[in-house]
Structure formats: structure tokens, C-alpha cells
């Protein structure tokens, strides 16, 4: 079965490319109401494709916002492994359009790259997975495992309706593992798997003093300056030397990692001070005392001031006491920190340090939960073996930086491990002008997934 599928995938590469060209030509920009009809068109395209390759119960299912495409093939039997295949057919806006060398929704081939919005994120990647399904169904009429297909249309706007949808369809979506292909490899010959992502807590702090900006000569010395107060408050959140966060309770829920995972993180040759300096241009690395660079990037929380505003910021000088000052704060969180609890702890801490001369407002602007998957889980180990078959080496295991809010919903509601096998490349220009997909990754991605299905079947 596997060999027939591999042969089919190889022979059908031209058709696979045609299908991808058709899909990326649809401007399914989820954030833009003007593209609503294109969203419907893209969902229908995916549904028609699922129908065409022989999946069952294909449906475009409505949600509170954008529809998702569901399909399944469950003939492998009750005892067989059931894998949920996740992808998203929506894309980021193409702006700034003038920075594109080719039109974002007129897919263009240049050498081995396909340039188009959504080519890598995520149309090319989820279609590579569905091509593996096609290869089995079109050659053997069956798959070695059960699959459920879940292709949503809200990923680029943080999947607002998905948590509710997954809850409502918990039984229909029940599975043994979830496959997400929506991230880059380290290089074209080096696969990488994430086994977790950090979470995030985003807040805005506003300190208010006088009813309007005041003359600093007439009132300086008599009223407090909200900007000064804000700066003092921010300075009390983090120790400047150790980079420890000083909010009581902040670290309470953090789970320590064991020596094996520590070794796994620190053995990664792709994380080094030299690479960091080259990538960022900083004169030296910085971070929490007592942890290595790799640990600080993966399993330790952070605190960042993303922006500060208020008062006079124009050219030249203007002597004012600002009426108010604000700061935007972002904290990266690790298991089992809870974004809302962290926001509450921060508010409590800052309130306890706030002088009575000003008022303060703390707004929680959003967050996501950190997620970790046991990398020793058989479904993750099978992915390693699949990479071994195609790339001659296992994947480098990492914990990811960017958060995928949906992972938490999947994990909490479906209680299944999430396997993340990216097929993109670091220079795919995700969310940027000139997004592209390296086509050899498309074809090898399908091959890898064909092996993966086979390896999962052997485990069951
Ligand atoms: Zn994506």
C-alpha cells in the first residue's frame, strides 16, 4: 500500500502543483469583509477536493464567523489509529502590495519556488498532507489509519469561533493525535518539529494624573508626573541584573523540565549566541540568570515593554507634565502559567506600588495559553521515523516561539497529543510580501506523511 502511494505521489507531482496553483489563486483573506465571497470559494474548493479524492462525509460547516471544511475516512476500523489533520485555508492580507515582485494572488513559479500569498502558510502545507491521503485512496482505495480532516478559515485572526466549535463537535472530532503542518523546517535538509509553544499575556497600563497636560514650570513640584510614575512602576517589574520578574506568584505554576529535556534543548546546534548576534545585530545576548540561551528561548517566561506613549514626543522641546502615560506589555508564558492569572497578579502588584497621586488602569488585551506535548509520545516518535525515511535524519525538536491559540483548545477538549511537522522554510516570508513555498518541500512533505500514516498504523 505504502509503495503504491509513494509511486502515485511521485507520478502525480504535476497535478499536485496544478491543484496548489488553483487554491492559492483564491484570495481568502479572513480579516477582510470584502473577501467574504473568496473565503466561501476557498472553503468550497477544499471541500470539492476532499470529495474528489474519496474522503467521506465532506461538509463545509458554518461557525460564528468563517466556515470550516470537515471530511473523514474511518474505514480502517475501530481499533485503528485516528489522526485529525489540521490546516487553515485563510491567509494574511497581501499588503503592502507594492513590495511584491509578482502579484500575490497570481501564483508565479520561479525556479523551485512558488510565489503567492498562502503558498507556505498554510495552503501548500495542508494540501501536501491531503495529497498523502489522495495517494493512498487513489491506489489502494483505503488508508492504513482513520483520518479526520479539519481545515479552518480563521487561523490568521486567532480562530475566534474554533474553541466553541471544537467543544460542540467534541465527539465528531475525537482522535488519537492531531497533525498540524504550519511552520518552517530549519533548512531544506533539516526537518524540525515543535513539541510546544509559549503562551502570551498582553496588557496595557495607563497612568493618569492631571486633567490635561500642564506647564512643568507652573506645576512641577506640586503634582505627580504620570510618565515618571509609569517608568518607576515598569522598572519594578523586572530585576535589571538577573532579569527575574519580581511580581509575587509569577513563577508559581511553572513546571521544571527534566535532565533529558534539558539535554535535548541544549544540544540544538541551531541555537547559539553567534547565530543570535548575526540574526539580530545585538552586541551581546541577554536573559534570565541561571538558564542557557536555549532554555531561555523555550522554557522560561519573559517580560517585554513593547511600547510607551504619552506627553510630548515631537521634535524639539516642550515643557509639559503629561496628563497620562501608557505602556504596552507582553509576557511570554510557559506551562502551566495562565494568561489571565498573570494579568491579575501584575495588576495586583502594580496597584500595591501605585502612589495615591495618580490613578491607574490595567487592561488585558488578550492572551494565549502555553502548550507542551510529550515528545516521547509514540505519535511524535513516528513522525521522527517518517522524517528519517525521507530526509535520512530525524527532526530537530524545539519548543516554538509564536503561539497558536487553537492548540490549547485542541489539547484541553480533545485530550490528544499534537504533532507539528512543518514543511516551510525560514525564508518563506510568512505574513510578508513575496511569500513563497519551496516546491521540493511540498512533494517531500507528501512523501513524509505517506510514511507517517504507515508508521502510525504499525503502532496501533
Ligand atoms: Zn499558518
Q: Which letter does DSSP use for residue 200 in this model?
A: E
pLDDT recorded at residue 460: 66
**Helix or strand (DSSP H, E) at 61:** strand 56-61
CB distance 453 to 379 below 8 Å: no
Distance from the alpha carbon of residue 154 to the mean position of ligand 1, in angstroms = 10
pLDDT on residue 401: 65
Pairing assessment for the beta strands 146-152 and 82-88 based on DSSP bridges: parallel
Cα–Cα dist 197/373, whole Å:
9
Which grid cell is 176? 488519537
The reported pLDDT for the residue numbered 406 is: 87
Cα of 182 vs centre of ligand 1, distance in Å, is 5
Structure pTM?
0.89
Distance 349 CA to ligand 1 centre (A): 36
Span from the CA of 38 to the centroid of ligand 1 (angstroms): 18
Residue 336 neighbours by CB distance under 10 Å: 14
Please list the ranges in the chain whose pLDDT falls under 50: none
CA of 17 to the centre of ligand 1 (A): 20
- Output the pLDDT for position 276: 87
In this structure, the number of other CB atoms found within 10 A of the CB of residue 436 comes to: 26
Q: Are 459 and 84 in contact (CB under 8 A)?
A: no
- The Cβ of residue 282 has, within 10 Å, a number of other Cβ atoms equal to 11
Q: How far is the CA of 88 from the centre of ligand 1 (A)?
A: 7
Query: Ligand 1 centroid vs 325 CA: distance in angstroms?
Result: 35
Residue 7 makes CB contacts below 8 A (sequence gap 6+) with 139
Taking a C-beta distance cutoff of 8 angstroms, is the pair 383, 456 a contact?
Answer: no
237 neighbors 303 (Cβ within 8 angstroms): yes
Q: What is the pLDDT of residue 333?
A: 95
Task: For residues 378 and 349, give the distance between their C-alpha atoms in angstroms, rounded to a whole number.
Answer: 43
- Are 421 and 394 in contact by the 8 Å Cβ rule? The answer is no
185 CA to middle of ligand 1, Å?
14
Q: Which residues surround ligand 1, an ion (CB under 5 A)?
A: 121-122, 182
Which of 253, 271, 252, 290 has the alpha carbon at shortest distance from 399? 271
Retrieve residue 31's grid coordinates: 480579516
- Secondary element (H or E) of residue 234: helix 226-235
Q: How far apart are CA 381 and CA 418, in angstroms?
A: 12
Instruction: Give me the residue label for grid cell 471544511.
Output: 69
Residue partners of 434: CB distance under 8 A and separation at least 6: 99, 100, 101, 102, 115
CA of 380 to the centre of ligand 1 (A): 20
Amino acid at each position: 500500500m505504502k509503495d503504491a502511494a509513494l509511486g502515485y505521489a511521485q507520478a502525480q507531482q504535476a497535478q499536485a502543483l496544478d491543484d496548489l496553483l488553483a487554491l492559492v489563486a483564491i484570495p481568502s483573506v479572513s480579516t477582510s469583509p470584502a473577501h467574504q465571497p473568496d473565503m466561501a470559494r476557498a472553503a468550497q474548493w477544499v471541500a470539492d477536493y476532499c470529495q474528489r479524492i474519496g474522503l467521506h462525509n465532506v461538509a463545509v460547516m458554518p461557525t460564528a464567523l468563517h466556515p470550516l471544511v470537515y471530511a473523514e475516512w474511518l474505514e480502517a476500523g475501530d481499533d485503528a489509529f485516528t489522526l485529525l489533520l489540521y490546516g487553515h485555508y485563510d491567509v494574511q492580507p497581501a499588503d503592502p502590495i507594492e513590495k511584491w515582485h509578482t502579484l500575490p494572488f497570481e501564483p508565479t513559479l520561479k525556479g523551485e519556488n512558488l510565489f503567492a500569498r498562502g503558498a507556505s502558510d498554510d495552503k501548500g502545507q495542508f494540501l501536501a498532507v491531503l495529497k498523502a491521503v489522495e495517494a493512498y485512496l487513489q491506489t489502494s482505495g483505503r488508508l492504513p489509519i482513520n483520518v479526520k480532516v479539519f481545515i479552518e478559515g480563521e487561523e490568521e485572526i486567532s480562530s475566534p469561533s474554533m474553541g466553541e466549535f471544537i467543544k460542540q463537535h467534541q465527539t465528531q472530532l475525537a482522535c488519537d493525535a492531531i497533525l498540524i503542518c504550519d511552520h518552517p523546517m530549519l533548512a531544506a535538509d533539516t526537518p524540525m518539529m515543535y513539541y510546544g509553544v509559549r503562551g502570551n499575556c498582553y496588557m496595557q497600563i495607563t497612568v493618569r494624573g492631571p486633567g490635561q497636560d500642564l506647564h512643568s514650570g507652573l506645576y512641577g513640584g506640586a503634582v505627580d508626573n504620570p510618565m515618571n510614575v509609569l517608568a518607576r512602576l515598569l522598572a519594578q517589574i523586572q530585576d535589571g541584573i538577573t532579569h527575574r520578574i519580581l511580581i509575587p506568584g509569577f513563577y508559581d505554576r511553572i513546571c521544571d523540565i527534566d535532565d533529558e529535556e534539558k539535554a535535548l534543548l541544549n544540544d540544538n546546534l541551531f541555537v547559539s549566541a553567534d547565530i543570535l548576534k548575526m540574526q539580530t545585530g545585538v552586541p551581546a545576548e541577554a536573559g534570565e540568570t541561571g538558564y542557557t540561551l536555549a532554555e531561555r528561548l523555550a522554557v522560561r517566561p519573559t517580560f517585554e515593554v513593547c511600547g510607551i506613549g504619552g506627553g510630548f514626543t515631537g521634535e524639539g522641546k516642550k515643557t509639559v507634565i503629561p496628563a497620562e502615560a501608557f505602556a504596552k506589555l507582553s509576557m511570554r508564558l510557559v506551562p502551566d502559567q495562565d494568561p489571565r492569572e498573570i494579568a491579575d497578579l501584575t495588576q495586583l502588584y502594580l496597584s500595591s506600588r501605585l502612589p495615591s497621586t495618580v490613578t491607574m488602569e490595567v487592561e488585558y488585551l488578550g492572551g494565549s495559553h502555553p502548550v507542551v506535548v510529550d515528545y516521547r509520545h509514540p505519535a511524535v516518535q513516528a513522525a521522527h521515523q517518517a522524517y528519517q525515511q525521507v530526509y535520512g535524519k530525524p527532526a530537530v525538536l524545539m519548543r516554538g516561539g509564536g503561539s497558536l491559540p487553537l492548540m490549547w483548545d485542541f489539547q484541553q477538549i480533545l485530550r490528544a497529543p499534537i504533532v507539528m511537522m512543518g514543511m516551510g522554510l525560514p525564508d518563506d516570508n510568512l505574513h510578508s510580501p513575496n511569500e513563497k513555498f519551496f516546491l521540493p518541500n511540498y512533494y517531500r512533505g507528501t512523501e513524509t506523511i505517506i510514511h507517517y500514516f504507515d508508521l502510525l498504523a504499525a503502532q496501533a
